[in-house]
Structure 1
Amino acid sequence: MSDIDHLSPEIIPMIARYLESRDFFNLRLGSLYLRDSTFALFLKLYFRTRTHMLSRHSLMKLLDISHHPILGPSIRSVVITTNHLTPDGLSDEPYLPTWMERNVYPIDKKRYREYYIQQNSFRQSGLDTTYLSEILANAVHCRTLALADRDQPWGAAFLERETGVYPTSSMENEYSKIYVQQVTHVIIAAATASGVSIEKFELNAGLGRAMNPSVLRFPELHRIQLPWAATLTSLRLLMSPNYDEDPHVWSKPLADFISLFPRLEVLDLYFNRRLQQAGFQALSQALSLPNLRILRLGGFDCLSDDLLLLFGIHQNSLREVVLNHVGISTRLDGSWQKLVTMLHAQLQITKLEIVGCNVDGHLICLRKSDLSLSAQSQVLGETRQLLYV
């Protein structure tokens, strides 16, 4: 028996959490006592959040895990990434985190073509939706579903070994744009078919790969009762409308999608391309969420009157507001002071953060958890700039 075997079962996981994966697995092989003492940590680190791509190989592994009597119920979050193969064999290696060690494999064009055909067949047959629906139905404690690229998906390294090319998550070419749109629809369809009680949903491709809001056009969803509409309380979206696109064209499907979930309490809505005033105005006029408590917005230009409208619609429920890199124009009519007065007098805001924003070109940074804005409103009205942290 080693010295570590003499430690209490509470101390061992505290040490093990700092080990690299290979060392952690070797530790668990040391004895039955070490295995049992680290079992809860093992589930937390490797099964609580599962990150996969929409390939047959990746989803089949997740399906096997979901059927397991212990591992399946341990899943709390399912993250699907946009990684995929493309007709031209595009590699996404420059986008990977710099800390991630990469092996270089010889490119096998024949194998790549085979897996590319399999990917298309898997998507066209609808098996991806079927597999993911069953996975979510089996993962009875799963409460978070996301489309994101924050981690390396299980199965991507396998495809790199097989083909010599790491599957891309780029959305630059037309094939990739269509594929990511299909992935989004698969996730929505699977969540709906599975009947899972999703509480948090995220569409956040990240790293400059945000999707166009038109992807969220689901007219058929308004004709059915979404099982997860009654349970979803948190929604995070990163969107990227085209510069030359009519704001009324893209804002409607975005607002319609958000409105599918009337019980939303938390809305994070960010734009990775600078959204013009007309775009946010169209969106602010269309949003109405009766239970909204926390609103985080970023990446757009707007009139302060548009914020007044949006906050006013939600004044009965709104408690926290975060504005990140927002350009606010007052049209020199004092409406910024009206906005501050509303935040102080009409809304029951308990937390306000204004980070990296500007009002008529002047930097505004405000971070306050216990609001007392009456004195600040006079300063803001006179100087139009404040640095208060």
Structure 2
Amino acid sequence: MRIFKSHPLLKLINSYIIDSPQPANLSYLWNFGSLLAFCLAIQIVTGVTLAMHYNPSVLEAFNSVEHIMRDVNNGWLIRYLHSNTASAFFFLVYLHIGRGLYYGSYRAPRTLVWTIGTVIFILMIVTAFLGYVLPYGQMSLWGATVITNLMSAIPWIGQDIVEFLWGGFSVNNATLNRFFALHFVLPFVLAALVLMHLIALHDSAGSGNPLGVSGNYDRLPFAPYFLFKDLVTIFLFILILSVFVFFMPNVLGDSENYVVANPMQTPPAIVPEWYLLPFYAILRSIPNKLLGVIAMLSAILMLLTMPFADLGRTRGIQFRPLSKMAFYIFIANFLILMVLGAKHVESPFIEFGQISTVIYFAHFLIIVPFVSLLENSLIELSTKKARN
């Protein structure tokens, strides 16, 4: 064991995953980080394996995916692992962000950790979109056409950006080649950002804890206590992922993507994967194209406002009933946006989408600052009464 403390590289690993002191009262809600790292590892390994057999050509992309599924040994398993772990990745990252919002993980001294995490989330969305285009089914082609066309809303240079992304005047061979290249490279950029995320956490105050108090008085080494706690959730994750991969691998996908891409036939409804539906609903709820694009991007960047919007005196909202109520309303509204994103653009879904969009932005810009100031006033009032 002495080599772990003396070797330059092993000493670094030791300080992060063996001797790293963690607050003793960490719950299983702090296991999402290790689960997300596990998901990223699965995605990189399965993605590199799929790339060995994939052909980024409009004529052969769909057939090469079918070749992987039917002819390559265990190709179906690799592909289903890759596609279902992508959904699991987003499900866990939403839980991870939700836990951060609930326990105030965005507050100083962890603001840099939160900022890097938001950048990782944006890059995840881009990577997922690029990957969704690669099978070149109906939804891949039309999803790529619709989303890349959003850039045309940018004044003066919008259409030039679209044509640059396409590599021509429509989604074609050049588009598929550059999307494949980016989809292959970005997960490694993600891995580097995850390392930065971890270093920023390690160099700040370390992990928070459910009580929101200083964890310096009661800490335990990461191994073996939290290492085995992480393994419990990893094994549970493998079990649940296996159920999806082996018994219902296509339940989260779109049947239109099992039809070869046809530029002459538009699908009845063009929708992204389930994990991007809330932002798609925000985009569609605004009639103006440019404002819709700005709102969609702002919906993600709103996370960066939390360190400034939350003016409460205590970290987290576990002991703040009004903030807790606002948080659960926000979660319910986010789920409503997810449902609305899959609906046709017609009444009453348009009106519901607009109401939900207003509530979404109001949460960050109005509700959180107002409620936290109100709670501060109530605390001061109760303190004065207690003194009297």
TM-score computed with the length of structure 1 as normaliser? 0.25
Bigger fraction of residues in helix: 2
TM-score computed with the length of structure 2 as normaliser? 0.25
